[in-house]
Amino acid sequence: MYALCAGIGLRAPHVTRVLAEKPRIPWLEVHSENYFAAGGAAHDALERIRADYPLSLHGVGLSLGSADPLDPAHLGRLRELVDRYQPAFVSEHLSWGAIDGMHWNDLLPLPHTREAAALLVDRIHEVEESLGRPILVENVSSYLRFHAGMSEAEFVADVVRRSGCGLLLDVNNVYVNSVNHGFDPVDYLRAIPCGVVAEMHLAGHTRKTGLPEPLIIDSHDDFVSAEVWALYERAIERFGPRPTLIEWDARIPPLEALIEEAARATQRLEACRAELA
Amino acid sequence: MPSLRELQRGFAAAMHGRAGEIIAAIDGGALGAGARVGIYRNAIAATRLRTLSDSYPAVRALVGDAFFERLAYRYSDLNPSRSGDLCVYGARFPQFIEQSPEAIEPVPYLADIARLEWLRQEAALAADADSVPDPMPRLPAAADPRRLRATLHPSLRSIRSAFPVFAIHRWCDAPAEPAPRLDDGAECGLIWRSDGEVAESAIHPASYAFVEALREGGTLADAAAAGEAQDDGFRLRDCLDGLLDRGLIVDFTPQAGSS
């Protein structure tokens, strides 16, 4: 469908223009939780957008990796959303965000242990059974890692392999973590099985200075960096062209900037396809 | 290595400033485990502050950024999020303000403004009516009109305040206008969603009593009695017409057991 094109994450400041002007954007992704309300203007807009664009739903609050059970109300609302909008992809994160009923509303890092991997596999199956369809899971950026356990790439590969779900490979997150935790990002890509990547994400980040070691914050507030574009090219060489999304969540620029950034990704996807042909 | 639950509980404690339990499990590197935990603590605090700022812009405008931030951080410490959906975070902020003397003494109407802002958010996100409200929902032919119950529009909310809350709220949006006078008195009002936008209107206390009685499941007769108890001059027909004109009654049903 839109395998060889890059879309954008649709955020509130751009909804009015997308509705009015229907710009040429191959596909759009929205955060699932932004549409959890029972009704209202956001749904009216998304109904109209869904009629004109392929759509994917990207969840940020389900807390797949929490030792607590999944929140049935949250899962129920996600199911209603999936039933209503019939998205091309539904994705969640390989992270946790709640414990003992308290939610931190963040994508918190998991230990790369067998216990955490087994829990994620069970939870992915639970979500897929509830939604009646497969989901993708995304590797997250992190600012700390726990002692012991597998490397992050081994952990992600293990979860994806054992659960059978697809991977939403966030290339920026791989790069951010490679700097924050001192590993080779290309080695990370090599550790991921070739056939599992179903979608990729790209975003901007912020490099902190004046610290005793390098640190990058996954801020989604800038253009994709040269290093991430280079890693993206390595990723599509390895995994083939995959639907790709530009995420921009803070200091959001005019819509044109996102469309141009998506076009840069599409050029790379087309070049990869030409090489494969 | 602690179990996953132990580790997540340790992380939760660290978000409340008790990082001791989790530090040993983290590979801190040159930056240090405490600094790394602090990145998450700061990000979570910033998210909650942003969420409260988005939900309570008039409260923020009234007390100023610095005071609002202190209030919001204290609220966040005492009221952790209970949902993965941030749209529902901050529901208890009005009560928290009400119980915060440093907020309510200098700005006695602050909690009511917060209550109004939360009701506006609820109205914006409420379910749609099952169908487009008929401007004049049909009264069941055989029923005694006074024994009917009314189904209100799902977005309809109401507020009663000892202060002119709607005037103050409007002034926060457009502070160039003359400031409202607190001795303008109490206000009752309705908040609802119309064509995707949140609308609000001050109403007479008798009309407020009427709507509240309908919301509690009373018949039109019960609600009219509640309105008349507030004001002898309450006129059921006028009040009903006002609600119907705004599409705020979406259906009438006979009281159980009546024909």
Interchain contact, B87 vs A44, CB within 8 Å: no
B139 reaches A (C-beta below 8 A): no
A212 reaches B (C-beta below 8 A): yes
Interchain contact, A61 vs B85, CB within 8 Å: yes
> What contacts B85, CB < 8 A, 6 or more positions away?
A33, A36, A61, A74, A77
Mean pLDDT, chain B, as a whole number? 91
Domain count, chain A: 1
Give the residue among A197, A201, A67, A59 at the shortest CA–CA distance from A130.
Answer: A59
Question: Residue B18 above 50 pLDDT?
Answer: yes
Residue with tokens 């509303």: A105
- A220-258 pLDDT per residue, tens: 999 999 999 999 999 999 999 999 999 999 999 999 999
Question: Residue A140 above 60 pLDDT?
Answer: yes
Domain count, chain B: 1
Question: Residue B142 above 70 pLDDT?
Answer: no
Question: Residue B255 above 80 pLDDT?
Answer: no
Note the pLDDT of residue B133.
52
Least confident among A126-130, B180-184, B220-224: B180-184
Which of B23, B26, B31, B153 is most worth mutating to test chain A (most A CB atoms within 10 A of its CB)?
A: B31
Cα gap A133→A116, rounded to integer Å:
23
Question: Nearest 5°: phi and psi at A112?
Answer: -90, 60
Q: Average pLDDT in the A135-144 region?
A: 98
Note the pLDDT of residue B134.
58
Interchain contact, B83 vs A61, CB within 8 Å: yes
Note the pLDDT of residue A276.
83
Question: Residue A74 above 60 pLDDT?
Answer: yes
Note the pLDDT of residue B141.
60
Evaluate whether residue A231 is within a structural domain. Answer: yes
Note the pLDDT of residue B131.
56
Note the pLDDT of residue A197.
98
Interchain contact, A115 vs B82, CB within 8 Å: no
Interchain contact, A97 vs B5, CB within 8 Å: no
- A144-201 pLDDT per residue, tens: 999 978 999 999 999 999 999 999 999 999 999 999 999 999 999 999 999 999 999 9
Note the pLDDT of residue B259.
47
B154 reaches A (C-beta below 8 A): yes
Chain A residues 49-88 within an 8 A CB cutoff of chain B: 60-63, 65-67, 71, 73-74, 77
Question: Residue B37 above 70 pLDDT?
Answer: yes
- B206-241 pLDDT per residue, tens: 999 999 999 999 999 999 999 999 999 999 989 998
Which residue of A37, A40, A96 is in closest CB contact with B8? A96
Q: What is the CA radius of gyration of chain A?
A: 18
Contacts of A144 in chain B (CB under 8 A): 26-28, 33, 36-37, 39-40
Evaluate whether residue A121 is within a structural domain. Answer: yes
- B240-251 pLDDT per residue, tens: 989 999 999 998
Give the residue among A34, A92, A47, A21 at the shortest CA–CA distance from A259.
Answer: A21
Evaluate whether residue A1 is within a structural domain. Answer: no
Contact B111, B104 (CB under 8 A): yes
Which of A66, A103, A178 is most worth mutating to test chain B (most B CB atoms within 10 A of its CB)?
A: A103
Note the pLDDT of residue A3.
57
Evaluate whether residue A230 is within a structural domain. Answer: yes
Cα–chain center distance at B246: 21
B140 reaches A (C-beta below 8 A): no
- Burial class of residue A120 (count of CB atoms within 10 Å of its CB; 0-12, 13-18, 19+): buried
- B111-131 pLDDT per residue, tens: 999 999 999 999 999 999 875
Which of A104, A106, A121 is most worth mutating to test chain B (most B CB atoms within 10 A of its CB)?
A: A104
Cα gap A252→A175, rounded to integer Å:
22
Evaluate whether residue A181 is within a structural domain. Answer: yes
Q: What is the 3-state secondary structure (H, E, C) of B170-216?
A: HHHHCCCCCCCCHHHCCEEEEEEEECCEEEEEEECHHHHHHHHHHHC
CA end-to-end span of chain A: 18
The ipTM of this complex is: 0.95
Contacts of B12 in chain A (CB under 8 A): 99-100, 102, 104
CATH number of the domain encompassing residue B167: 3.90.930
Residue A157 tokens read as 């590969």
Note the pLDDT of residue A77.
97
Which residue from A minimizes the CA distance to B3?
Answer: A115
Question: Residue B135 above 80 pLDDT?
Answer: no
Helices (H) and strands (E) in chain B, counts: 12, 5
Chain A residues 221-250 within an 8 A CB cutoff of chain B: none
Show the domain range for A141: 6-276
CATH number of the domain encompassing residue A109: 3.20.20.150
Interchain contact, A146 vs B4, CB within 8 Å: no
Cα gap A123→A71, rounded to integer Å:
11
Note the pLDDT of residue A61.
97
- A14-70 pLDDT per residue, tens: 999 999 999 999 999 999 999 999 999 999 999 999 999 999 999 999 999 999 999
